[in-house]
Structure 1
C-alpha cells in the first residue's frame, strides 16, 4: 500500500508557481488598466519620470 504525502505549499513547488503566475497576470492587467485610465505609466504615477 502506498502512502501519499500532502503537497508542499512553500518553496518552488507547482502550487506556488501556479499562484505566482496567476497573481502576476492580475498585476499586469491592473497596471495596463491604470495606465489606460490615467494616461500615465506606473513610473509616472510614482513620480520617477
Structure 2
C-alpha cells in the first residue's frame, strides 16, 4: 500500500481567464473610466453623446 501525502500543495490562482484577480482589475478600470468620464463632462460642459457626435 502506498502512503498518501500528508500536506496538500498550495497551487496559486492563474492570472488569466475569469478569476478573482481579473474581475478586481476590471472593476477598478471601470471605476477609473467612469470617474474620468464625469470629470471630462464637467470640464467640457458636454455629455457623452455630444462627444460621439450623436447629440
Is the shorter-chain TM-score for this pair beyond 0.5, marking a shared fold?
yes
The structure with more radius of gyration: 2
Q: Which runs of 5+ in 1 are unaligned?
A: none
- Which has more helix, going by share of residues? 1
Cα deviation 1:26-46 (Å, max 9, x = unaligned): 000000000000011112112
Q: Which runs of 5+ in 2 are unaligned?
A: 1-6
Q: How many residues align?
A: 49
Structure with larger RCO (C-alpha < 8 A, sep 6+)? 1
What's the TM-score once normalised by structure 2's chain length?
0.79
Which of 10, 19, 28 is the aligned partner of 1:22? 28
CA RMSD after TM alignment? 0.9
Who is 1:40 aligned against? Answer: 46
